[in-house]
Amino acid sequence: MSEPGILDVRCAVTLGAFDLDANFSAGPGITVLIGPSGAGKTTILHLVAGLMRPERGRIAIGGDVMADTDARMFVPPHRRRIGLVFQDAQLFPHLTVAQNLAFGGWFARHTNGLPREHVIDVLGIGGLLDRRPARLSGGEKGRVALARALLSSPRLLLMDEPLSGLEEEKRQTILPLIEMVRDEFGVPMLYVTHARDEAQRLANRIITIDRGRVVGSENLGEDR
């Protein structure tokens, strides 16, 4: 289905009446999880990020095991080197853009992270550095959140409907930036959306989720 080794998910969890049993692998580029609301897409992101523990199964990133219930192994979120971008950006409101970016860079202090100025230039946020989030538009917040995630030197980037709620004009502005991040920085992404056009444009592979199960996959190729 996809090149193994970047991300391998074989895990299950029960949340009330909802039962998730996810089984898939993701290779380089952008792997899109698509499906209706409540299908389990965000739950999968939380499991991969370490924000939730699987009840059964195993998760590995780049060959390193992040969770294995048989071995009673669980790597906490801050040790997974995963960048997170949620639909509400989740920037620190009391910090400037520059200070928010510095927080992302703190996680990369022991690694050869991406060049800060290059990330700022690619995402076009140089003029926003002295502002606080309250003075940013929705699209600007999205770009800053993406930059902060990249500056954490992630081995994997998780994006949970980052364009949801944006006006179409702003959405069409951010889409090329996500493509540019994919092509310029080469960080693999696991990207959640319910928009089929968005998935078709961005994805190297599409995995369809419904009622907690993988019900389909489509490989669109590594060269996009």
For the chain, what percent of residues have pLDDT higher than 70? Answer: 92
pLDDT above 70: residue 51? yes
Q: Judge if 68 and 142 occupy the same domain.
A: no
For 8-29, how does the pLDDT look when each residue is reduced to its tens digit (9 = 90+)?
A: 999 999 999 999 999 999 989 9
Specify if 136 maps to a domain: yes
Q: What is residue 173's predicted lDDT score, i.e. its pLDDT?
A: 80
Q: Judge if 1 and 65 occupy the same domain.
A: yes
- Mean per-residue pLDDT of the chain: 88
Q: Which residue has the higher pLDDT, 40 or 183?
A: 40
- Strand order in 64-68's β-sheet? 18-26, 7-15, 56-61, 64-68, 73-74
Domain edge (last residue) among 154, 175, 202 = 154
The enclosing domain of 72 has a CATH number of 3.40.50.300
pLDDT above 60: residue 4? no
Contacts of 191 (CB under 8 A, 6+ apart): 30, 31, 32, 33, 159, 178, 202, 203
Domain carrying residue 131: 87-154
Specify if 202 maps to a domain: yes
Q: Judge if 14 and 59 occupy the same domain.
A: yes
Specify if 118 maps to a domain: yes
Q: Judge if 66 and 103 occupy the same domain.
A: no
For residue 223, name the pLDDT band (cuts at 50, 70, 90): low
Specify if 170 maps to a domain: no
Specify if 27 maps to a domain: yes
Domain edge (last residue) among 154, 171, 192 = 154
Q: What is the pTM of this model?
A: 0.86
pLDDT above 70: residue 70? yes
Q: Are 80 and 154 in contact (CB under 8 A)?
A: no
The C-alpha atoms of residue 6 and residue 43 are separated, in whole angstroms, by: 19
Question: What mean pLDDT is predicted for residues 31-43?
Answer: 95
For 185-214, how does the pLDDT look when each residue is reduced to its tens digit (9 = 90+)?
A: 888 999 999 889 999 999 999 999 999 999
Q: Judge if 57 and 75 occupy the same domain.
A: yes
Specify if 71 maps to a domain: yes
Q: How is residue 200 annotated by DSSP?
A: H
Q: Judge if 95 and 72 occupy the same domain.
A: no
Q: What is residue 86's predicted lDDT score, i.e. its pLDDT?
A: 83
For 90-115, how does the pLDDT look when each residue is reduced to its tens digit (9 = 90+)?
A: 899 999 999 999 887 766 555 556 78
Q: Judge if 73 and 120 occupy the same domain.
A: no
